[in-house]
Amino acid sequence: MKISLKGKVVLVTGGSRGIGEGICRSLAEAEATLAIHFNSNASKAQALADSLEGKHVCFQADLGNTEDLKNLYEQVISELGRIDVLVNNAGIAISSDLEVDLNDWVADWDNTFAVNTRAQALLCKLCIPQFKEIGGGRIINISSRAAFRGDTLDYLAYGASKGAIPALTRSIARYCGKDNIKAFNIAPGFVRTDMAQDFMDQYGEAYALDDIALNQLTEPKDLGPMVTLLASGLADHATGTTIDINAASYVH
């Protein structure tokens, strides 16, 4: 069965590359109208938008900046009229081991939580009242297997910042469901992206490959169909759940 998201506006943070790009391509195939968020590479975001069927608009914002986040939301509403689905995908991973200078270590934690946790929560806060006004909406948060199994000592901040996302998702699912607002969490493992490559350059690709049950690393395109399904409403009674897409490197 072909899923149709025609007439739905979907905001995808970090949509210009990596997992976000894979998500955008799948959503566009389902005829969604995309608000593609990017941080610094406008030309790459626009090239992606131009390569997809349909009308899609790019929006710049530094997700670590509260005012930028507010402006992002307002610009999407102004240009596209509404948001039906929020995909909180953008994230950062900073290597910061326990030997790092204390002030630098704290700064790394603050930056990581600002983008990976606070930004997701703030966009949820902005979107939920609008969802109520239009009769409902869906939130799809991207966390990580690290939220459940932990991470290496130099990525403590990453694991901890992602660990908050399932609780955020469950709270929204439990207390906004009567307003026709559903929330889902997707927890990827290693996905072949620039961010994951930084980790593999540090630890070696075998570190990732030896940790999974399949023969190939997960690709960005492997997450897109699940996001599209959740955005469609066909899986609404799974609201609040976490879906693991990690090649069985972590199994609940």
Q: Where are the beta strands (DSSP E) in 31-122?
A: 33-38, 57-60, 85-88
Q: Is residue 185 part of a domain?
A: yes
Give me the pLDDT at residue 251, please.
85
- In terms of C-beta density within 10 A (0-12 exposed, 13-18 middle, 19 or more buried), how is residue 3 classed? middle
Q: How many domains does the chain divide into? A: 1
Residue 178 has pLDDT above 80, yes or no: yes
- In terms of C-beta density within 10 A (0-12 exposed, 13-18 middle, 19 or more buried), how is residue 248 classed? exposed
Mean pLDDT of the chain: 94
Q: Is residue 48 part of a domain?
A: yes
Give me the pLDDT at residue 162, please.
98
143 or 217, higher pLDDT = 143
Q: Where are the beta strands (DSSP E) in the chain?
A: 9-12, 33-38, 57-60, 85-88, 137-142, 181-188, 242-245
Q: Is residue 109 part of a domain?
A: yes
Q: Is residue 252 part of a domain?
A: no
Q: Is residue 60 part of a domain?
A: yes
Predicted TM-score (pTM) of the model is: 0.94
Residue 32 has pLDDT above 90, yes or no: yes
Q: Is residue 3 part of a domain?
A: no
Q: Is residue 2 part of a domain?
A: no
Domain of 229? 9-245
Instruction: Assign residue 212 the CATH number of its domain.
Output: 3.40.50.720
Q: Is residue 187 part of a domain?
A: yes
